Amino acid sequence: MLSQSLSEAVSRLRRSDGRTVEWVTAPGYVDYEDAVAEMEARVAAIVRGEAPERVWLLEHPPLYTAGVSSRDADLLDPGRFPVHRTGRGGQFTYHGPGQRVAYVMLDLDARGRDVRAFVRGLEQWIIAALAEFGVRAEVRDGRVGVWVERKGPGWSREDKIAAIGVKVRRWTSFHGVSLNVEPNLDHFGGIVPCGIAAHGVTSLLDLGVPATMDDADAALRASFETIFGPTSLERS
């Protein structure tokens, strides 16, 4: 539940000038270092006022990324997949096929200059998208990302379905979110995801929702527009 002040800040994440955000989907798998280079170039252009904002949807080949708060002890299987040290916030995460990564490059100078509200907006974006599939997701104090409560006869637990890790430079955001649509969940076993060992990970498929990546993209776009404003489809 957002406080009134934070709720008001999140409501200001829409641009007052009505400019659209480019919505781009990359075909195939995108190399991680190439993606970072592309983000760096786009952020620099946004800062200079030479390019519009962009949400870039893609999939990576299997890999681990280490955020600025990562601990070496949380890398349980260093030789399993390539490990990329990155400047985003957060700890270790996995990216791979079946996971929708959305890199979010927005001009926060035009969206309220409130990084905390921006992160809350990202959380609400994912929660609203998951609601389109009948999945109730939530955030938890002290735990980054989006979580699903699961119950059965005599047991209950909370699993992570989406990760969030962002960086802001000169009031322009990059990196973003990752939503587990149908990845191989065993691949998360090489790390302690986001430094949290007491909880697991899940996906739409694992929850019994046979959504395609196109289904997930449509839900993500619709919920993004309710929080951040209009988008325009662009070629990758």
Res 209 pLDDT > 60: yes
The two structure tokens encoding residue 109: 């100078």
* 33-67 pLDDT per residue, tens: 999 999 999 999 999 999 999 999 999 999 999 98
Domain residues for the domain of 35 are 4-234
3-state secondary structure the chain: CCCHHHHHHHHCCCCCCCCCEEEEEEEEECCHHHHHHHHHHHHHHHHCCCCCCEEEEEECCCEEEECCCCCHHHECCCCCCCEEECCCCCCEEEECCCEEEEEEECEHHHCCCCHHHHHHHHHHHHHHHHHCCCCCCEEECCEEEEEEEEEECCEEEEEEEEEEEEEEECCEEEEEEEEECCCCHHHHHHECHHHCCCCEECCCCCCCCCCCHHHHHHHHHHHHHHHHCCEEEECC
The pTM for the full model equals: 0.94
CA dist 183 and 141 (Å) reads 26
For the chain, how many structural domains are there in total? 1
Q: Which among 40, 72, 71, 68 has a CA at the least distance from the CA of 56? A: 40
**194 belongs to the catalytic site:** yes
Taken in order 92, 97, 100, 101, is the CA torsion positive or negative? positive
* 62-120 pLDDT per residue, tens: 999 998 889 999 999 999 999 999 988 888 999 999 999 999 999 999 999 999 999 99
Mean pLDDT of the chain: 93
Selecting among 66, 139, 166, 194, the annotated active-site residue is 194
Residue count of the chain? 236
Instruction: Specify the pLDDT at position 6.
Output: 62
Instruction: Specify the pLDDT at position 193.
Output: 81
CATH number at residue 196: 3.30.930.10
